[in-house]
Amino acid sequence: MDFILDNLLTLILFSPLFGMAVVMLMPGDEKKLIRWTALLFSLVPLALSLLLWFEYDIGVPGYQFEHQVVWYAPIGATFYLGADGISVSMVLLTTILSPLAILASFGIKDRVKMYMALFLVLEMGMLGVFLSLDLVIFFLFWEVGLVPMYFLINQWGSANRKYASLKFIIYTVAGSLGLLLAIQVMGLSAGTFSIPELATAWPAITTGVLGIPLGTVKTISFWAFCVAFAIKVPIWPFHTWLPDAHTEAPTAGSMILAGVLLKLGAYGFIRLVLPLFPQQAHDAAWILGLLAVISAIVGAFAAYGQTDFKRLIAYSSVNHMGFVVLGIAVAARAGGSTDPRWAESSIIALNGAVLQMFNHGLSAAALFFLVGVIYERTHTRDLTKLGGLWTIMPAYGGILIFCAMASVGLPGLNGFVSEFMVVRGSWHVYSIYTALTMIGLLLTGAYLLKALKLVLHGSLNLEWKSVPEISVRERLVVYPLMALMLSIGLWPRWVVEVINATVTRLVG
């Protein structure tokens, strides 16, 4: 037990990799065995991160379970892991969604071995980003997550997958280039890549690098970070890769894309941009906030304009992540303010943003999965061809309405709590922005009800009259998500306490 606790983060991080190795060793035609092995191995990090969740002490400031070994001495990069309340909650989200996504992929029949192996690598990449405390390995894991997702879309996606996967990778790599450059510059000038050290050293640096004046260096690296993370979130106008990638990816790929990968961008803002560039973030917060509002509104409009079920849900991510970024913008603007009301607002807004990341992970994953359930049965995502499915799939209808309502932000379910916190926090700092996002919130209802109406209501298209009800395996994927949505809606304290402790120390 001591061994596990001492190396907890390392174990969480590499257990999926071990699972991948085992899967790779299996004969490729033992599909059933491979599926179950992959599922089993994805449960290991879940168990470990539950342990992490309960062992994590909210009373202790800073990072916990730190683990640092020299990794590449000449450049001063270390293999440095650590967790605080924000990363712990994101790790939990990742390890919850991964087994569910693997379970959701049991319907995959083509090259199962490769598929599952990629999935486990993907999980490792995402966990690595959330656990890294060193910029070099942060970047490394950032890229590691990219490759499997590219292949998942490119190989197991639907009709337009080549275009979508290329767009996805080009967009993200374009952001990564700047990120890499900025990381180099920072490491060079501060002499370390360790994030906790940089957080104190980097903002205090007084001389420029390589003859470039300090102001320019900081501004360039700030914007390089921002663009990279903005693409990942995504924030308008960097979002057009998302509807294509989400729509063309296989069901489980969309679940992870929306559920976790988008959070990497927001996580980057919170973990790196806010502590490393407090001044620049403060000055540019209004731009970030404005783009967040535009994302929330434009995402909702675009979702409402869809007739493709999956694309509609994809755009809902743009809409929901707008709230996350708005919360971050408020924290950037008002964090550390001496005015108590501003300081309080920044904490509440950032608490809301992190909780919204968690909540959106649950509801978006559930909704993408439910789209997949329909697609598997009808082989269409065209809303105009569906309709009346509630008559033959009563349980599915109930589940879909439940998850849609979580996404709409119905009080009693999770989405409301985080949206309320963001609205409460941002109202005092950015009143106009907050008022404008209400348009997005209103339209959230409009597009989800549109989807419900076209899928469930109306008379049944007789083409689907023998479509089977949602199966036990499919229920097992979505029930845990629903339970979490309800539990956070009724008793948000269990998550928010962990987040709040860190956020309060971060921006308070």
Site for other proteins in 264-303 (CB under 8 A): 298, 301-303
Restricting to residues 31-70, name those near other proteins by CB under 8 A: none
Looking at 147-273, which runs of residues are DSSP E strands?
Answer: none
Minimum distance from CB of 151 to other proteins (Å)?
6
Minimum distance from CB of 1 to other proteins (Å)?
30
Verify binding: residue 401, other proteins, rule CB under 8 A.
yes
Report the residue number, 36 or 163, with the smaller CB distance to other proteins.
163
The three-state secondary structure class of 22 is helix
Residue among 143, 197, 376, 469 that touches other proteins (CB under 8 A) = 143
Residue among 398, 467, 471, 480 that touches other proteins (CB under 8 A) = 398
Verify binding: residue 228, other proteins, rule CB under 8 A.
no
Minimum distance from CB of 107 to other proteins (Å)?
19
| Other Cβ atoms within 10 Å of 7 Cβ, number | 16
Verify binding: residue 445, other proteins, rule CB under 8 A.
yes
8-state DSSP, 457: S
Distance (Å, whole) CA 126 – CA 264: 8
Verify binding: residue 456, other proteins, rule CB under 8 A.
yes
HEC profile of 340-389 = HHHHHHHHHHHHHHHHHHHHHHHHHHHHHHHHHHHHHHHCCCEHHHCCCH
Indicate the helix (H) or strand (E) that contains 5. Answer: helix 2-6
- Chain-centroid distance of CA 414 in Å reads 16
Contact, 240 vs 317, CB < 8 A? no
Residue type at 227 in one-letter notation: V
Verify binding: residue 357, other proteins, rule CB under 8 A.
no
Report the residue number, 199 or 410, with the smaller CB distance to other proteins.
410
Report the residue number, 48 or 161, with the smaller CB distance to other proteins.
161
Verify binding: residue 341, other proteins, rule CB under 8 A.
yes
Verify binding: residue 162, other proteins, rule CB under 8 A.
no
Contact, 326 vs 426, CB < 8 A? yes
Residue among 277, 390, 396, 464 that touches other proteins (CB under 8 A) = 390
Distance (Å, whole) CA 95 – CA 82: 17
Among 15-23, 177-185, 212-220, 370-378, which window interacts with other proteins (CB under 8 A)?
177-185
- Chain-centroid distance of CA 230 in Å reads 13
Minimum distance from CB of 47 to other proteins (Å)?
27
Contact, 236 vs 295, CB < 8 A? yes
Contact, 346 vs 333, CB < 8 A? yes
What is the pattern of x (binds other proteins, CB under 8 A) and - over residues 178-197? --xx--x--xx---------
Two tokens, residue 39: 């599922």
Residue where the block lists tokens 């420029």: 208
Restricting to residues 93-132, name those near other proteins by CB under 8 A: 111, 114, 117-118
Question: For residue 69, what are the β-bridge partners?
Answer: 79
Binding residue count for other proteins, defined by CB under 8 A:
83
Distance (Å, whole) CA 385 – CA 380: 8
Contact, 353 vs 88, CB < 8 A? no
What is the pattern of x (binds other proteins, CB under 8 A) and - over residues 3-32? ------------------------------
Among 84-92, 270-278, 326-334, 430-438, which window interacts with other proteins (CB under 8 A)?
430-438
Among 31-39, 44-52, 323-331, 408-416, which window interacts with other proteins (CB under 8 A)?
408-416
